[in-house]
Amino acid sequence: MGIQFGGDYNPEQWPEEVWAEDLKLMKAAHVTMVTAGIFSWARVEPRSGQWDFGWFDRVMDNLAGAGIAVCLATMTASPPPWLSHAHPEILPEGPDGQRRWPGGRQHYCPSSPVYRAHAVRLVEQLATRYAGHPALAMWHIGNEYGCHTRQCYCAVSAEDFRRWLRERYESVTALNAAWSTAFWSQGYGDFDEVLPPRTAPTFPNPAQQLDYLRFGDEALRACYLAEKEVLNRLTPEVPVTTNLMPQHKPVDAFAWSAHMDAMALDFYQDPYAGDDHIRAGYVFDLMRSARSGQPWMLLEQAPSAVNWRPRNGPKPPGAMRLWSWQAVAQGADAVLFFQWRQSLGGAEKFHSAMLPHGGTDTRIFREVSELGRELASLAGIEGTRSRAEVALLADWHSWWALELDSKPSTALEHSRIALEHYRPLFEAGVACDVVPPQRELNDYRLVVVPNLYLLTARDAERLTAYVRDGGRLVVSFFSGIVDEYDRVHPGGAPAPLRELLGLRVEEFWPLDAGRTVAVEGAYAGRADLWSEAVDLEGAEALARFADGDLAGRPALTRHTYGRGTVWYLGTRPEPVLMRALLDDVRRAAGVAPVVPGLPAGVQATVREGAGGRYLFLLNHGTDTVEVGLPEPMREALAADGARGGTVDRVTLAARGVAVLTDD
Ligand code: GLA
């Protein structure tokens, strides 16, 4: 089958005469898969219960005839006007009680039984009609859950939240204890008194907010699962997925992964960001790790510019190719775009497409077609996997809790902190998994905990056991502070990690905006964002604060515990220090880069399996570089796109890609 290649196909935007040309040009561009029907609800059900599938039958038949597989959308992401007109109660409300009106998309309350019933009815029609259709390869449920409507606060959601709380806590006494309602006179006498955390005069109860984030994620997932139940019943052999978004706070990718037959991601690298490939690297690794290394799908990316940033830079020549290969190098078995043919009207007419307004005689169409050809030429990559010896922990519950209000500092952002820990590993060319704290860790030589503010006693014990048994662990500040209800672990911070880390944090000392402090010792330089008053209880100080309020107190520590070692960061070291520290730590853990001595800016990954062993070299830098290979390999895809012979060095131009194999 090979790597799937294609994009969103929205034929309802075009007269049927155009469809034949679509198919011809898709073949020319080496398209193997499209995701179709994502926003077709109003066309297939123009009035409640009146179905018009004839035109879509022709779309499906045409695609089958052309040998193009369909990842068929369930069409439920944008309810048609008749539905919200007849049932305005399906419209979502913000925390301020303001209704979100139709006119865009995703204007539904996830808890709405009316919305769900209509969605399920549509999915039953679709699955019944297209079961066994030769084009049907996969189901694509909804679209980017929680993208626009992240949470709803309406009366229907409130009722659903109370149901959720009753199931979770069983008694209002348990709820009161979990939410610390003795504070500010918030004790509830009955579940009926509980509301969503709507806009209040001051900070709403943090545990209530945290539970509402959990509930919101589950409400979105309930929509997905309601549709999935229909699909699994009517087309049990067809795999099911949905397109997740990168570092998307409302949707816990780890929790969703158990219900997806393949992880699927939309990722729009920002050409103007300069280093967005590092963020991509982190999210791609998370996608691969979520289902324990199973190949995932890049379900959407832009061929060039998007239309939704303040300034939308096109992808310069070679960037789309490089970033597509990056996804494959990090485990993707599908590279798809939004969208096939560029719209003439509507909100996304300036968003690039595989087939631009300018037609086939365009840079974008040429680059897209060339990428399709390249991917088709390396079908053996499909199904191969990577192995990592380093795990970075990520946890949505901790993220949700960390970014609630009323903290020592509101400047701690989960996504940024995660990337600050990921970057040194990426830049060193070290393979890395991104996993939840509950994952088995013993197979990893090194585990990095960027910032786990919320850590259950059980997960803290698992980290402790990991080190006791010989593991190497890095833990950053403000970890292990609260339990699953955002209640501080008693016993002095970070209580459940104190013995493991060999220290206590007497006081948090977040640094003011723009303020830096000096650290000195084995690591010398500057740090910012955070500091804390650490007392050693067995750990050694590798570096101490050299100025500021905490001068002389430990800043970076190391502790031997059981058969393992744990490092602790009581501040945010500047990037060069962070790199130096993590380089030393991974050497101590015996973790080697994929290719030793990689030039700066070059990414190297390996995938192997039944289809062979592949080394991917990607030059994200702006200079031409030479990469020496650890052993001679054959160029499956040479830097110029051709195939070459066996080499022991590769020259990579800026944005160059080489794929090598040893078969
Ligand atoms: C998202 C959506 C698509 C489209 C693109 C534009 O990924 O799923 O429908 O709006 O954004 O970038």
Residue 154 lies in a domain: no
Element (H, E) at 83: helix 81-86
Structure tokens at 376: 């088709």
We report the CATH number of the domain holding residue 531 as 3.40.50.880
Q: Could you tell me how far CA 276 lies from the centroid of its own chain? A: 14
Distance 301 CA to ligand 1 centre (A): 8
Domain that holds residue 637: 602-661
Question: Do 131 and 260 share a domain, yes or no?
Answer: yes
Residue 594 lies in a domain: no
Question: Do 516 and 488 share a domain, yes or no?
Answer: yes
Are residues 111 and 160 in contact, defined by beta-carbon separation less than 8 angstroms? yes
Residue 57 lies in a domain: yes
- In whole angstroms, what is the distance from residue 646 CA to residue 634 CA? 4
pLDDT at 404 (0 to 100): 97
pLDDT at 345 (0 to 100): 98
- In whole angstroms, what is the distance from residue 637 CA to residue 526 CA? 43
Q: Whose CA is nearest to atom 5 of ligand 1?
A: 338
pLDDT digits (tens, 9 = 90+) for 335-368: 999 999 999 999 999 999 999 999 999 999 999 9
What residues in the chain have per-residue pLDDT under 70?
none
Question: Do 249 and 356 share a domain, yes or no?
Answer: yes
Question: Do 341 and 256 share a domain, yes or no?
Answer: yes
- Does the beta carbon of 266 sit less than 6 angstroms from any atom of ligand 1? yes
**Sign of dihedral through CA atoms 11, 15, 18, 23?**
positive
Q: Which of 308, 343, 377 finishes a domain? A: 377
- In whole angstroms, what is the distance from residue 457 CA to residue 500 CA? 13
SS3 621: coil
Q: Would you call the peptide bond into 88 cis, given omega within 30 degrees of 0 as the criterion?
A: no
pLDDT at 644 (0 to 100): 82
The pTM of this model reads 0.98
Atom of ligand 1 lying closest to residue 38 CA: 9
Distance 197 CA to ligand 1 centre (A): 29
pLDDT at 640 (0 to 100): 73
- Does the beta carbon of 268 sit less than 6 angstroms from any atom of ligand 1? yes
We report the CATH number of the domain holding residue 318 as 3.20.20.80
Residues designated as active site: 144, 300
Q: Which of 540, 557, 588 finishes a domain? A: 588
Q: Could you tell me how far CA 52 lies from the centroid of its own chain? A: 36
- Does the beta carbon of 298 sit less than 6 angstroms from any atom of ligand 1? no
Atom of ligand 1 lying closest to residue 347 CA: 10
Question: Do 253 and 340 share a domain, yes or no?
Answer: yes
Q: Whose CA is nearest to atom 9 of ligand 1?
A: 338
Beta partners for 556? 543, 569
Question: Do 355 and 397 share a domain, yes or no?
Answer: no
Q: Letter for the amino acid at 73?
A: A
Question: Do 581 and 620 share a domain, yes or no?
Answer: no
**Mode of pairing for the β-strands spanning 136-140 and 240-241:** parallel
DSSP state of 512: P
- Does the beta carbon of 267 sit less than 6 angstroms from any atom of ligand 1? no
We report the CATH number of the domain holding residue 627 as 2.60.40.1180
- Does the beta carbon of 352 sit less than 6 angstroms from any atom of ligand 1? no
Residues 6+ apart with CB under 8 A from 371: 5, 320, 321, 324, 335
- In whole angstroms, what is the distance from residue 508 CA to residue 279 CA? 29
Question: Do 330 and 435 share a domain, yes or no?
Answer: no
Residue 241 lies in a domain: yes
Distance 144 CA to ligand 1 centre (A): 8
Question: Do 372 and 418 share a domain, yes or no?
Answer: no
Q: Letter for the amino acid at 362?
A: T
Question: Do 580 and 472 share a domain, yes or no?
Answer: yes
Pick from 338, 348, 349 the residue to mutate for probing ligand 1's pocket: most ligand atoms within 8 Å of its CB: 338
pLDDT at 15 (0 to 100): 97
In this structure, the number of other CB atoms found within 10 A of the CB of residue 201 comes to: 5
DSSP state of 379: G
SS3 534: strand
Q: Which of 528, 562, 588 finishes a domain? A: 588
Question: Do 551 and 628 share a domain, yes or no?
Answer: no
Residue 249 lies in a domain: yes
- Our count of domains for the chain comes to 3
Residue 40 lies in a domain: yes
Question: Do 291 and 312 share a domain, yes or no?
Answer: yes
Residue 474 lies in a domain: yes
Tokens 């409300």 identify what position? 93
Q: Whose CA is nearest to atom 3 of ligand 1?
A: 338
Residue 329 lies in a domain: yes
